[in-house]
Amino acid sequence: MEDAMTRQIKLGAFLPGGGQHIASWRHPDQPLDGAVNLKFHIELAKAAERGLFDAYFLADGLAVAFGGGVEGGNAKVAGFEPVTLFSALAPFTEHLGYIATASTTYEEPYSVARKFASLDLISDGRAGWNVVTTATEAAAKNFNLDQQLPHAARYRRAAEHVEVVKKLWESFEDDAFIRDRASGVYFDVDKVHRTDHRGEHFKVEGPLNVPRSPQGHPVIVQAGQSEDGRGLAASTAEVIFTAHQKLHTAQEFYRDIKSRARAIGRNPSHILVMPGVSPFVGCTEEEAREKYDRLTSLIIEEDGLALINALSGGELDLAGADLDGPLPPAPPTEGMKSRQELIRRIADENNFSIRQLYQWIASARGHFTVVGSAVQIADTLQEWFENEAADGFNILPPWLPTGLTDFVELVVPELQRRGLFRTAYEGKTLRENLGLPFPQTRWVSDFNEAAE
Amino acid sequence: MEDAMTRQIKLGAFLPGGGQHIASWRHPDQPLDGAVNLKFHIELAKAAERGLFDAYFLADGLAVAFGGGVEGGNAKVAGFEPVTLFSALAPFTEHLGYIATASTTYEEPYSVARKFASLDLISDGRAGWNVVTTATEAAAKNFNLDQQLPHAARYRRAAEHVEVVKKLWESFEDDAFIRDRASGVYFDVDKVHRTDHRGEHFKVEGPLNVPRSPQGHPVIVQAGQSEDGRGLAASTAEVIFTAHQKLHTAQEFYRDIKSRARAIGRNPSHILVMPGVSPFVGCTEEEAREKYDRLTSLIIEEDGLALINALSGGELDLAGADLDGPLPPAPPTEGMKSRQELIRRIADENNFSIRQLYQWIASARGHFTVVGSAVQIADTLQEWFENEAADGFNILPPWLPTGLTDFVELVVPELQRRGLFRTAYEGKTLRENLGLPFPQTRWVSDFNEAAE
pLDDT in tens, B395-452: 999 999 999 999 999 999 999 999 999 999 999 999 999 999 999 999 986 544 444 4
Indicate whether A336 pLDDT > 70: no
Look at residue B197 in the predicted model and tell me its pLDDT.
98
Average pLDDT in chain A: 92
Look at residue A451 in the predicted model and tell me its pLDDT.
42
Look at residue B114 in the predicted model and tell me its pLDDT.
98
Tens digit of each residue's pLDDT (9 = 90 or more) over B257-308? 999 999 999 999 999 999 999 999 999 999 999 999 999 999 988 888 888 8
Contacts of B23 in chain A (CB under 8 A): 184
Tens digit of each residue's pLDDT (9 = 90 or more) over A238-270? 999 999 989 999 999 999 999 999 999 999 999
Distance in Å, alpha carbon of B148 to nearest chain A alpha carbon: 13
Look at residue B287 in the predicted model and tell me its pLDDT.
98
Indicate yes or no: CB of A181 within 8 angstroms of CB of B26.
Answer: yes
- The partner residue sitting opposite A209, judged by closest CB among B61, B92, B118, is B61
Nearest CA in chain A to B183: A300
Indicate yes or no: CB of B84 within 8 angstroms of CB of A110.
Answer: no
Look at residue A372 in the predicted model and tell me its pLDDT.
98
Mean pLDDT confidence for B15-28: 94
Distance in Å, alpha carbon of A86 to nearest chain B alpha carbon: 8
Indicate yes or no: CB of B78 within 8 angstroms of CB of A208.
Answer: yes
Percent of chain B with pLDDT over 90: 78
Tens digit of each residue's pLDDT (9 = 90 or more) over B293-352? 999 999 988 888 888 887 776 667 787 889 999 988 776 555 455 667 778 888 888 899
Residue type, B143: F
Query: CA B226, CA B224: separation in Å to the nearest integer?
Result: 6
Residue B236 is assigned to a ligand binding site: no
Look at residue A157 in the predicted model and tell me its pLDDT.
96
Look at residue B320 in the predicted model and tell me its pLDDT.
83
- Asked if B208 contacts B113 with a C-beta cutoff of 8 angstroms, the reply is yes
Interface test with B, best of A21, A25, A66, A80 (most B CBs within 10 A): A80
Contacts of B36 in chain A (CB under 8 A): 121, 211
Look at residue A337 in the predicted model and tell me its pLDDT.
56
Distance in Å, alpha carbon of B393 to nearest chain A alpha carbon: 28
Mean pLDDT confidence for B61-74: 76
- The partner residue sitting opposite A114, judged by closest CB among B81, B172, B208, is B81
Tens digit of each residue's pLDDT (9 = 90 or more) over B84-109? 999 999 999 999 999 999 999 999 99
Nearest CA in chain B to A74: B186
B25 vs B448, more confident: B25
Residue B41 is assigned to a ligand binding site: no
Look at residue A346 in the predicted model and tell me its pLDDT.
84
Mean pLDDT confidence for B201-210: 97
CB contacts < 8 Å between A and B, how many?
215
Mean pLDDT confidence for A19-23: 93
- The partner residue sitting opposite A26, judged by closest CB among B78, B91, B184, is B184
Residue B155 is assigned to a ligand binding site: yes
Tens digit of each residue's pLDDT (9 = 90 or more) over B118-166? 999 999 999 999 999 998 899 999 999 999 999 999 999 999 999 999 9
- Which of the four pLDDT bands, split at 50, 70 and 90, describes residue A339? low
- Which of the four pLDDT bands, split at 50, 70 and 90, describes residue A350? confident
A233 vs A313, more confident: A233
Q: Dihedral of the CA atoms B133, B134, B139, B144 (nearest 10)?
A: 10
Look at residue A446 in the predicted model and tell me its pLDDT.
52
Indicate yes or no: CB of A108 within 8 angstroms of CB of B143.
Answer: yes
Indicate yes or no: CB of A78 within 8 angstroms of CB of B110.
Answer: no
Half-sphere exposure of A193 (CA within 13 A, CB side): 20
Indicate yes or no: CB of B70 within 8 angstroms of CB of A189.
Answer: yes
Indicate yes or no: CB of B64 within 8 angstroms of CB of A171.
Answer: yes
Tens digit of each residue's pLDDT (9 = 90 or more) over B355-396? 999 998 888 777 899 999 999 999 999 999 999 999 999 999
Nearest CA in chain A to B201: A144
Q: Which domains does chain A have, with CATH numbers?
A: 10-169+204-281+367-451 (3.20.20.30)
Tens digit of each residue's pLDDT (9 = 90 or more) over B165-175? 999 999 999 99
B68 vs A50, more confident: A50
Mean pLDDT confidence for B246-257: 96
Contacts of B186 in chain A (CB under 8 A): 25, 69, 72-75, 77
